[in-house]
Amino acid sequence: MTAVINENPIIQVNNLKFFYPGDARALHGIDLSFPEKNVTALIGPSGCGKSTLLRCLNRMNDLIDGCRVEGEITLEGENIYGKNTDIIELRRRVGMVFQKSNPFPKSIYENVIYGLRIAGEKDKKLFDERVEKSLKAAALWDEVKDRLQESALGLSGGQMQRLCIARAIAVNPKVILMDEPCSALDPKSTARVEETIKDLRDDFTIIIVTHNMQQAARVSDHTAFLFEGNLIEYGLTDQLFVKPQVKQTEDYITGRFG
């Protein structure tokens, strides 16, 4: 099915097909548009292709040898699979937070400014400013402001994940992709991260993959339900959860499968 939301889309996915090595098709032609400064959740059972779709949005799937993409994804009107696309530039515009928190074995401070450093930034004042701003945005500032120079590996799981969010924010992306950011966290940390996500929606477009429907319901404005590589239903979160249009969606959100 197609779902078009004409609310100022920042990313437009047109007939996206994705093949893993050996021509195993993971996505069967997805059409989808993500509205700007909104939180969109991708839900669906394991292996439905939601993570694959997410990873297509910043071309993280390029790291897999032998995979193939058909169709088109535009970011602010530009095809990111076009010939002249600069992947580096793309990834700086589309940040990502992973399922497993992955702070680098460096200090908290260095972790946050990593993206700036690799872009050749050297301004110390900018760094300080950006660190404070990003950590505040990720709601981590108060907890770590006294130990910015300590190793990031000493943080708790939830703090690490928020640090990763801060690290993604620090380069000022347009879009932040989140791949089940809370799946490895305890409920309390999950709540903190969800709070952070809600706070970020004013400045960033957030696309979040989640297994947890309550979480999707709590944090997202829009929700897309994927099943076996197809987009089944897409709409406002409130509507989708309350009044699903498609039987499969209903079955899924009521817990009949998945």
Partner 1 sequence: MSTTTKNMNKYWRIGEPMVWLSGASLAITLLTAIILLAVIMINGLGVFWPAELQRLELQDGNQVIGRLIKSEPTADGSALRRQYKIANRDLYGLDFRWIDEDQIVSQEVPRNLLVLERIEHGDFYGELKSLNLNGTTRTASLPDLTKALIEVETEIRGLRELEGKLKDASYLMEQLRLKKLKFDYKGVPANDPKQVALSQEKAILDEEFGHLIDIQTRQNARAREDTAMFTDASGREKEIVLADIFQVYAPNSMGLGDKIAFYSAKLLELFVGQPRESNTEGGLFPAIFGTVMLIFVMSLFSFPLGVIAAIYLREYAKEGIVVRIVRIAVNNLAGIPSIVYGIFGLGFFVYGIGHSIDSFFFPERLPTPTFGTGGLLWASLTLALLTVPVVIVSTEEALGAIPREMREGSYALGSTKFQTLVRILLPMASPGIMTGLILAMARAAGEVAPLMITGVVKLAPALPIDGNFPFFHLDRKFMHLGFHIYDIGFQSPNVEAAKPMVFVTTLLLVLIVLLMSSVAIRLRNKMKKRYTFGTF
Partner 2 sequence: MNPAFLKKVKRNDRIARWVITVGGMAIIFSVIFILILIAEVSLPLFLSPDKDLHASFQLEGRAAEEKILAMGVDEYLETGYRLDQAGRVNFFNIADGSAIDSLQLVSDTGSRRLITAQTYGRLNHMLVWDDGSVTIERVKFFPFFDEADDNQRSIRHELEHRAIFAPPSYGLPVKTMARVNDEGRQVRVDLFRSGIFQITIIEEEESLFGAGERVQESHQLEIDSVGEVTAMTLSTDGIKLYLGTSKGEILRWDLSEIDHPVLEETTQAFLDQREITALNMVFGDVSLIVGDQQGGVSTWFPVRDADVGWKLTQIHQLHGHAHAVQDVQPSPHDKSVLSIAADGINVSHMTSERFLVNIANGAEKIEAFAQSTRGNGIITLSDHGTVQSWKLDIPHPEVSLKTLFGKVWYEGYPEPTWAWQSSAGTDDYEPKLSLTPLIFGTLKGTFYAMLFAVPLAIFGAIYTSQFARPKFKGIIKPAVEVMAAIPTVIIGFLAALWLAPLIERSLGSMFLSLILVPAALMLSIALWQGARKLSPLKQVERGYEFLVIAPVIVLAVAIAAILGPGLEDWLFAGDLKQWLFNETGTRYDPRNCIIIAFAMGFAVIPIIFTISEDSLSNVPPSLKAASLALGASRWQTVWRVILPSASPGIFAGTMIGFGRAVGETMIVLMATGNTAIMDLSIFNGMRPLSANIAVEIPEAPVDGSLYRTLFLSAVILFIMTFIVNTVAEIVRQRLRAKYGRF
Catalog residues that contact partner 1 under the rule CB under 8 A. Answer: 58, 60, 63, 65, 88-92, 95-96, 98, 100, 102-105, 114-115, 117-119, 153, 157, 164, 167-168, 171
Single residue of 77, 88, 125, 202 touching partner 2 by CB under 8 A:
88
CB of 25 to partner 1, least distance (A): 22
24 binds partner 2 (CB under 8 A): no
Beta carbon of residue 129, minimum distance to partner 2 (angstroms, whole number): 17
Q: Does 238 bind partner 2 (CB under 8 A)?
A: no
Q: Which does 153 bind (CB under 5 to 8 A by kind): partner 2, partner 1, none?
A: partner 1
- With binding defined as CB under 8 A, does residue 120 bind partner 2? yes
In whole angstroms, the minimum distance from the beta carbon of 47 to partner 2 comes to 21
Could you say which of 17, 37, 59, 92 contacts partner 2 (CB under 8 A)? Answer: 92
114 binds, among partner 1, partner 2, none (CB under 5 to 8 A by kind): partner 1
Rank residues 118 and 153 by Cβ distance to partner 2 and give the closer one. Answer: 118
Q: Cβ of residue 121: shortest distance to partner 2, in angstroms?
A: 8
Q: CB-wise, 60 or 197, nearer to partner 1?
A: 60
**Min CB(229)–partner 2 separation in Å:** 28
Q: Examine residue 118 and tell whether it contacts partner 2 (CB under 8 A).
A: yes
Report in angstroms how near the CB of residue 86 gets to partner 2 at its nearest.
Answer: 8
d(CA 252, CA 246): 10
Q: Which is it for strands 68-75 and 78-79: parallel, antiparallel or unpaired?
A: antiparallel
Q: Which one, 39 or 60, has the nearer CB to partner 1?
A: 60
- Phi/psi of residue 236, each to 5°? -60, 140
Which tokens in the block code for residue 96? 């990502």
Report the residue number, 114 or 141, with the smaller CB distance to partner 2: 114
102 binds, among partner 2, partner 1, none (CB under 5 to 8 A by kind): partner 1
* 3-state helix/strand/coil string of the chain: CCCCCCCCEEEEEEEEEEEECCCEEEEEEEEEEEECCCEEEEECCCCCCHHHHHHHHCCHHHHCCCCEEEEEEEECCEECCCCCCCHHHHHHHEEEECCCCCCCCCEHHHHHHHHHHHCCCCCHHHHHHHHHHHHHHCCCHHHHCCCCCCEHHHCCHHHHHHHHHHHHHHCCCCEEEEECCCCCCCHHHHHHHHHHHHHHCCCCEEEEECCCHHHHHHHCCEEEEEECCEEEEEEEHHHHHHCCCCHHHHHHHCCCCC
CA–CA separation, 51 vs 27, rounded Å? 11
Q: Which residues bind partner 2 (CB under 8 A)?
A: 86, 88-89, 92, 118-120
